[in-house]
Structure 1
């Protein structure tokens, strides 16, 4: 038996006896409970300092050392030397497949897993799970949304792409680097899947079909849409000047858009689009914010207790009110504070149809060829007769093994 397996077995056997793991209660043995231990926590915002203090008050035998570290940086540190990072680490769900495959993360307890399946939104559950087993502690969701100038466009105008682009102008990025993340969900909108329905099948992508061709035809048609402006880095500036009236981005753009539009700031879910002869809801990628327990922790029970507390309803609500991370808890998404926030409301709605970013390691093969497909289609380098063959080549490229 290797060290990781022994730790995982200890964690699962002890935690199975817990009836309220999600609230941060994991039964410890008498000797473990009486010994004060130190747990390191890595998270990306100082708001978690006060959360840690509350946790320590209720758990006097656990001392938490907080360190502010970007959630997207966690994986490179844990891969370099897992013993130097936090016992509990904030990261993004798309990195989970790599972390699990390399044996760098412990599984959650059966009790916590059951509780998450009851209390968190469907996408968050998927984001915390890999190959049918839960390894992460979800606390938030993130999607792109539609930001718009409400002096130029009404709430009804932005419900449909056709109406939006007839009455206003939207900045898009089809022709430059970065088109992949924003527009790949067009394929999901039209019924195709990336790495299978669960995002874990190496050869499960089916973009190379008529639905996929229709996606590229839709993109091609936007070149002649007067309401569509190819505009990447300059979108915010053009929103400020009035050159464009809307653009697609995520919660990270909220402050900048509010500054640009002031009293005319508005946000909504994505519009519907007309594709393959039907009107369909335009989808986005779903990002799930998670904590993981480092496989190298010397205190798996206490680390899991902290991780479960950090993702509890109480903490999700507090963090949303302080810094705006949209909660993954179904209960907290229904609270008045979330519902009255236009951005949180839009993300909550979008999260119900959004496709979680695949966690499979082959996702690293996806970005460059996906950009090429969109960029070349927009620039007219791919004709309609070439679209299917280009998509077949794309599927072959992304299914290759990774190092």
Structure 2
């Protein structure tokens, strides 16, 4: 069954709580490598994968590991504890030994392009979903065919979009990541519902002479500024992030939202270059910043610093519209050169199941994409993870097409023009859109 038909059949279920990650921290979202994968396999040399199996997406008993199969998987150092545990369970169930090698997810596509053809790469990789386009277009990955139906049925719609490229499902969603509004309850008695509320509060709290601000976030980073682009109708690429020729950062809706963004300079009267994660973290922990737009990677530290005074809420509305954040996903994918495609697909499915995602949440605090996991008390009763899940229900996955790499520099140059210099948002974003278009056309020649 084709992916698009499957997504229609499951759209109602997929509208439940959802979230992304894209890396172990926000740096992975800030325009990672856009280099073209090299040494891509030809159609004649890439393995056939699951030839001869019944591709109905039924239970995991549908396929069995190849005789003598062994697997190598790549995993981040930060989340190694999860893979140690899940690999042990997989080996006990399927009698397939699993070797774990530590490698940052943002480096894995590049490493796969170098080592895949020679048989030195992992059988199963873990990547930020916005790296998927590079890998899939270079024919480095096998599609998620055997488990397509249950993957679509069991996970959020946005994570399936993120795990797909050019109409095919490749990934097995493992975790999601987006950002929300942290606030200090001793300073902000009730989370603001709108950015107008944020502005009103900030006028009473901000005092630049005392280095005290009502809110602070990385105003020069498109990842965190995306709500101002998207909430009133802007977008990065059209057709759900797949049309490189339809650039929406300078639409009327985007400009309306960025005008709201520009107003907030009144309560955060410092230049974008003077804000970085370390400065912001220090000021929030000390009570000199009352609110911070940030992701789950800061949760442990903020809880330690503020204790019961730490609050978390969905992003405030922008111009009266629900704030749309940018979401990232970590997805498993299977190396097209694996000697053991059945075993590799079984592992990717096993390690991204409901139980596996709940284990990952317990060990490292990740946010599930599995719909049943999102409804589990472990998630719903967590006052922080549940908020990230709620915000992610109003998120859009970062486009995974290779041209996404052309977006970061132009937009991250335009935003400081608006914030620091007061340039008209339309002027700045028209320029950025043209730069992206030129880069896209140059890349396609």
| TM over 0.5, shorter chain | yes
Deviations, residues 150-188 of structure 1 (Å, cap 9, x unaligned): 111134x322222233235111232x4xx2211134221
Alignment pair present for 1:105 and 2:141: yes
C-alpha change, 1:18 and 1:162, in structure 2 (3 Å) is closer
Shift of 1:389: 4.0
Find the aligned partners of 1:316 and 1:182 in 2 and give their Cα distance: 25
Find the aligned partners of 2:164 and 2:434 in 1 and give their Cα distance: 30
C-alpha change, 1:10 and 1:80, in structure 2 (3 Å) is closer
Equivalence for 1:149: 184
Shift of 1:322: 1.7
Listed as ranges, the gaps of 5+ residues in structure 1 are none
Equivalence for 2:74: 42
C-alpha change, 1:12 and 1:366, in structure 2 (3 Å) is farther
Match of 2:161 among 126, 136, 145: 126
Find the aligned partners of 1:10 and 1:355 in 2 and give their Cα distance: 31
Match of 1:314 among 355, 376, 389: 355
Shift of 1:211: 2.1
Deviations, residues 207-243 of structure 1 (Å, cap 9, x unaligned): 3332232233222222224699964341111112222
CA contact (8 A) 2:155 2:370 kept: yes
Equivalence for 1:27: 63
CA contact (8 A) 1:236 1:260 kept: no
Match of 1:158 among 174, 192, 213: 192
Shift of 1:27: 1.9
Q: TM-score, normalised by structure 2?
A: 0.80
C-alpha change, 1:320 and 1:383, in structure 2 (3 Å) is closer
Shift of 1:5: 6.2
Query: Which secondary structure does the structure 1 equivalent of 2:283 belong to?
Result: helix
Query: Which secondary structure does the structure 2 equivalent of 1:212 belong to?
Result: helix
CA contact (8 A) 2:229 2:258 kept: no
Find the aligned partners of 2:105 and 2:126 in 1 and give their Cα distance: 5
Shift of 1:303: 0.7
Match of 2:107 among 73, 83, 92: 73
Find the aligned partners of 1:106 and 1:118 in 2 and give their Cα distance: 20
Query: Which secondary structure does the structure 2 equivalent of 1:325 belong to?
Result: coil
Alignment pair present for 1:359 and 2:400: yes
Alignment pair present for 1:323 and 2:364: yes
RMSD: 2.3
